[in-house]
Amino acid sequence: MDLSTLTQEIFSKLEQKWLCNGEDKKTRILSIDGGGTTGIVAGTALVHLEDQIRAKTGDSNSRIVDYFDVVAGTGVGALLAAMLAADDGNGRPLFTARDAVKFLIVKQSDLYKPVTVGVFRRKKRFSSKSIDNTLKDALRRDDGKPLTLKDTCKPLLIPCFDLKSSAPFVFSRADASGSPSYDFDLWKVCRAALATPSMFKPFNLSSVDGKTSCSAVDGGLVMNNPAAAAVTHVLHNKRDFPSVNGVEDLLVLSLGNGPLCNRSQFEARRNGDCSTASVVDIVLDGVAETIDQMLGNSFCWNRADYVRIQVIRSLLSLYFI
């Protein structure tokens, strides 16, 4: 499927029920998978969708988050989600979808700057200092104020896995707004989400008041597709979503980032051995597709309210312009 056809399919599915502001408006969730380092698949879809929204509404200032009530992301999808939802200080998004994707591509070498470690310097990892500085510079307002988790235009959900508690930890604006003990610098939240074990060491972070801490790795290992976490959050958050009683009150757009594991790579290995990085890819793909199947079943009586956009690997060669 080429990109123009993909855009038309997304927009045709969303336009009638999702982009209207009628009395029967449902709570709309945008979920962005982890996977890869550029997020190019989900990012490109978001750029074209935002362009279509502007063309349809005639408003050049329209943003993706204007049409969603909750944004969730894992891994590189978390960084995309955070950039789309970040507040510029005037209640408007700090980044357009195009700006966010351009940042991921232009800053690719800074986010993932290789370093070699180990006795024989054969183990490849990426520089923590480089990615830290890049995220700090991006996730601050024009006046230099660093953003925290509660500084977002719309509710934001970003999962990681906490090695201290051996359990998932979900950063949310709802929790951050309720207590400084659950408010974290936004760059640290994204850094935690990007700490894939095969690429970075675990990332230690604390809340703004220092009372809550975790040792984080990429939440994709347990929640690469964060759509189910977002649905659960909305269903149980009566303070922000009092009118939601069940999935019949939700609309979910879930964007995949393409499969990470390539079957041909394993078929080419005579002994069937898998590298550590390949095992991580398999886990991420498996988690994402399992969540997709679960949500598909949950929305079986109203399938049009759950849209999952995933692509074949051949689309991963597309480059953002």
* Residues tagged active-site: 218
Band (1; pLDDT cuts 50, 70, 90): very low
We report the CATH number of the domain holding residue 16 as: 3.40.1090.10
Counting DSSP H helices and E strands in the chain, the numbers are 12, 10
Which range has the worst mean pLDDT, 106-120, 184-198, 225-239?
A: 106-120
Does 117 or 150 have the greater pLDDT score?
150
H helices within 170-275, ranges in order? Answer: 173-178, 186-193, 220-223, 227-236, 263-267
Q: What is the pLDDT of residue 40?
A: 76
**Looking at residues 201-218, what average pLDDT do you find?**
96
What is the DSSP secondary structure assignment for residue 271, as one 8-state letter? T
Contacts with 44 (C-beta within 8 Å, 6 or more apart), sequence order: 3, 101, 318, 320
Say how far apart CA 130 and CA 251 lie, in whole Å: 38
The SS3 call for residue 215 is strand
Using 50, 70 and 90 to split pLDDT, how confident is the model at 56? Answer: confident
Q: How far apart are CA 87 and CA 92, in angstroms?
A: 6
pLDDT score of 68 more than 70: yes
**Which percentage of the chain shows pLDDT scores above 90?**
52
pLDDT of residue 123: 61
pLDDT classification of 301: cutoffs 50, 70, 90: confident
pLDDT value of position 16: 56
pLDDT at 284 (0 to 100): 60
**In this structure, what token pair is assigned to residue 164?**
């201290």
The whole-number pLDDT of residue 275 equals 59
Each residue's pLDDT tens digit, 32-49: 998 766 667 788 889 988
201-209 average pLDDT score: 97
Q: pLDDT tens across 81-138, in order? A: 999 999 999 999 999 999 999 999 999 999 999 887 655 555 678 889 999 999 999 9
CA 288 to chain centroid? 12
Write the pLDDT tens digit of every residue in 256-283.
876 655 554 544 454 556 655 566 566 6
What pLDDT score was predicted for residue 22?
47
CA count, 13 A, side-chain hemisphere, 247:
20
Residue 219 belongs to domain spanning: 3-317
Distance CA 19, CA 66 (A): 9
Q: Is the pLDDT of residue 215 over 90?
A: yes
Q: How many domains does the chain contain in total? A: 1
> Does residue 31 or residue 315 have the better pLDDT?
31
Q: What is the mean pLDDT of the chain?
A: 82
pTM across the whole model: 0.85
CA–CA separation, 156 and 170 (whole Å):
10
Q: Is the dihedral of CA 264, 265, 270, 276 positive or negative?
A: negative
The predicted structure's pLDDT at residue 101:
93
Q: Which of 16-30, 101-115, 170-184, 258-272 comes out lowest in average pLDDT?
A: 258-272
Check residue 23 and give its pLDDT: 47
